[in-house]
Amino acid sequence: MLTVAMLALGAWLALVKAPPEREMGDVYRIMYAHVPLVQMALLAATINCACSVVYLIRASWRTDSLAEASAEVGLVFAVLGTALGSIFGRPTWGVYWAWDPRLTSMAIFIVAYAGYLALRRFVDDPEKRAVWSAVAGIVIAVDVPIVYFSVRWWKSLHQVQSSTKTVDPAIYWPLRANILAYFLLFIVFLGIRYAIAHAARRRETTVPEPAGSLSRAVAS
C-alpha cells in the first residue's frame, strides 16, 4: 500500500504540481518516470553482477535466485524506461530513436539481459545454469558503467546527468519523490520474483544443500 501511495503521490507531483520546464514545457514530465525506471534497471544490473560474483565465490541458491530475479525485474524496467525515453525524444530531439552512445548502450543492455534470461531457460541442470549465468552476468555488467558514462565519454543527443546545482528545487524534489516511489516498487517486484525463483530452485533440487556443499560441487 505504501508503494501504491508513493507512486500516486509521485504521479501527482509529476503531472500536476511540478511547473512546466523552461524550454520543454510539459513534455519534460515524462522524465519523472523515465529517469527512475532507468535508474532502477541499472541498480538491478548492479545487484545481478554482485550476486554473480558472490555465487562464484560461495555458491548458494539464494544468490542464484536473486540474480535471476534482478535480471528479469531490471529488464522490465529497462524496456519501459527506454520506451519512455524514445517517446520523450520525439518532441525534444525530433526522432524516436537515434544510434547515439546512450541509446545504443541501453539497447545492448536490453539485448544482453534478454539473452541472460534466455540462457537460464535453455540450461536444465541448475548448477550448470547458475555457474554459466553468473559468468554471463559479470560479463554483461560491463555495459552498466558504459550506459551511465556514455553521455560524458562521447558526444550524445542525450543530456548529461543533472544535479541539484543545475535543476530548480521545484523540479528535482518531485523527481526525488518519484525515484523513491519507483525504488519501493522495484523492491516489491524483486522480493516477489526472488520468492518465485527460490521456490523453483527448491523444486529442482529436492534436498536443500548444506552450507558449502554447492561450492564444492561447483568447484569440482
Q: Give me the residues that bind other proteins (CB under 8 A), please.
A: 11, 15, 20, 22-27, 29-30, 33-34, 37, 76, 79-80, 83-84, 87-88, 90-92, 185, 189, 192-193, 195-196, 198-200, 202
Joined grid coordinates for residue 135: 559468468
Nearer to other proteins, 10 or 101 (CB): 10
**65, 194 in Cβ contact below 8 A?**
yes
What's the closest the beta carbon of residue 108 comes to other proteins, in angstroms?
Answer: 21
What's the closest the beta carbon of residue 72 comes to other proteins, in angstroms?
Answer: 9
Nearer to other proteins, 12 or 154 (CB): 12
Nearer to other proteins, 56 or 197 (CB): 197
Nearer to other proteins, 56 or 84 (CB): 84
DSSP-derived 3-state class of residue 21: strand
From the list 52, 53, 56, 69, the residue with the least C-alpha distance to 117 is 69
How far lies 170's CA from each of 14, 43, 187, in Å? 10, 26, 27
What's the closest the beta carbon of residue 219 comes to other proteins, in angstroms?
Answer: 29
Q: Please name the residue that has the C-alpha cell 548502450.
A: 105
What's the closest the beta carbon of residue 135 comes to other proteins, in angstroms?
Answer: 26
The Cα 131–Cα 205 span in angstroms is: 15
